[in-house]
């Protein structure tokens, strides 16, 4: 975001285009998925199984499938996580996407597999570049301290 003012940041989020809001609906992956896929987070999709990490004590550690996603508010509805209205009808409890962790991915879409592979490749390139950079930095500091070239 370009501004430091909270009011302008809120206005930016409120007026954001729908295709950009999708990036805000990102959640971290479980440790098993992180090791398996070699990436840390992914946008949530309908059909993913998630675990609630924050909220009321009666919903923490709740696991269920994502039923609906609201891009305007950045919240998701989870199967089985409901409350009752005054007339007794059940209504989904909407939870912000950043407060959940993805436990199981819905990989029925081949495009999502391509996205995961692309993210993995980008991360590997970044880590490779970073290790090369730190190796060259340590080599220059060694030559500077010893004075040997």
pLDDT of residue 99: 95
In the predicted model, residues of the chain with pLDDT beneath 50 are none
Residue 30 DSSP one-character state: P
pTM of the model: 0.81
pLDDT of residue 137: 80
CB 26 within 8 A of CB 41: yes
pLDDT of residue 145: 67
Domain ranges of the chain: 25-106, 107-149
Q: In the chain, count of helices (H) and strands (E)?
A: 4, 7
Q: Write out the E strands in 1-149.
A: 26-29, 41-43, 49-52, 63-70, 75-84, 90-96, 100-104
For 54-77, write each residue's pLDDT tens digit: 998 889 999 999 999 999 999 999
pLDDT of residue 134: 85
Q: Report whether CATH 2.30.30.30 matches the domain 25-106.
A: yes
pLDDT of residue 143: 67
pLDDT of residue 5: 95
pLDDT of residue 146: 66
CB 33 within 8 A of CB 103: yes
Whole-angstrom distance, CA of residue 31 vs CA of residue 22: 23
The per-residue pLDDT of the chain, averaged, comes to: 91
């Amino acid at each position: 975001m370009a501004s430091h003012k909270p009011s302008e940041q809120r206005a930016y989020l409120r007026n954001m285009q729908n295709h950009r809001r999708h990036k805000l609906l990102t959640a971290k992956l479980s440790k098993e998925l992180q090791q398996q896929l070699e990436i840390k987070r992914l946008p949530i999709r309908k059909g993913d199984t998630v675990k609630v990490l924050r909220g009321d004590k009666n919903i923490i550690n709740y696991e269920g499938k994502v039923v609906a996603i609201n891009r305007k508010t950045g919240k998701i509805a989870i199967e089985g996580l409901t409350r009752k209205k005054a007339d007794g009808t059940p209504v989904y409890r909407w939870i912000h996407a950043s407060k959940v962790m993805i436990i199981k991915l819905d990989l029925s879409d081949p495009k999502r597999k391509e996205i995961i592979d692309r993210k993995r490749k980008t991360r590997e390139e970044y880590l490779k570049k970073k290790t090369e950079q730190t190796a060259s930095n340590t080599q220059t500091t060694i030559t500077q301290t010893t004075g040997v070239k």
